[in-house]
Amino acid sequence: RFPTDGIKGTLIFPEKNSSNGFETIINFLKKAYTELKPYGVDISCDVYGYTVWFDSLNLVNQHLEGMAIYADAIYPMVYPSHFSDSLYKIMGKEERTYRIIFESGTKSKRRIDKFKTKTILYLQDFTWKSSLMGKDYVNNQIKGAIDADVDGFILWNPSSKYSYFSLPEKINFLNYKKD
């Protein structure tokens, strides 16, 4: 992604470049794909969760289809805490959490399956804003990912303190039956 933090006016880029941020990211992926694919290397990238919801994410210069052309897998970071609190506000906490993941996975697959690019979701296993997600927010995200028929998921906790392993009831995602 492109820099979004700090005072942009203080950033110095010594080389002039006429391409925009979208082109820069896509050209980087294209070069990586061209150089590494002959060696059997799979190319993947992670994107912000909102990237699958909008045509393009201007702030960070992410365009899902443009990136998918040169990626074997895309990992949308669809942490419910990072979505607007007003999204699906009329639903209960548990259903809202499930719905954000399900819709994110469905939208991503619909947009990038034509490129034979896998959708593998990053799910939230950290507690920030978890009071808005319901008690069983980890399992509800797993259910949403499986029901969206994505190619996989990764639980993420920046401190590596994963609650999934200590949950009293865990989704058995190997034998989970879709609703």
Q: Which of 158, 147, 95, 91 is nearest to 121 (CA)?
A: 147
Strands of the 118-124 sheet, one edge to the other: 44-48, 73-77, 118-124, 152-156
Neighbours of 60 (CB within 10 A): 17
pLDDT for 179 equals 60
Domain ranges of the chain: 52-160
Using 50, 70 and 90 to split pLDDT, how confident is the model at 14? low
- Dist CA 98 CA 109 (whole Å): 17
pLDDT tens readout for residues 75-107: 999 999 988 878 877 888 888 999 999 999 999
Element (H, E) at 100: helix 93-112
Between 108 and 4, residue with greater pLDDT: 108
pLDDT for 93 equals 82
- Dist CA 68 CA 167 (whole Å): 35
Averaged pLDDT, 4-21: 58
For residue 133, the 8-state DSSP code is T
Between 8 and 85, residue with greater pLDDT: 85
Q: Which of 8, 10, 40, 33 is nearest to 21 (CA)?
A: 8
pTM as predicted: 0.84
- Dist CA 160 CA 54 (whole Å): 30
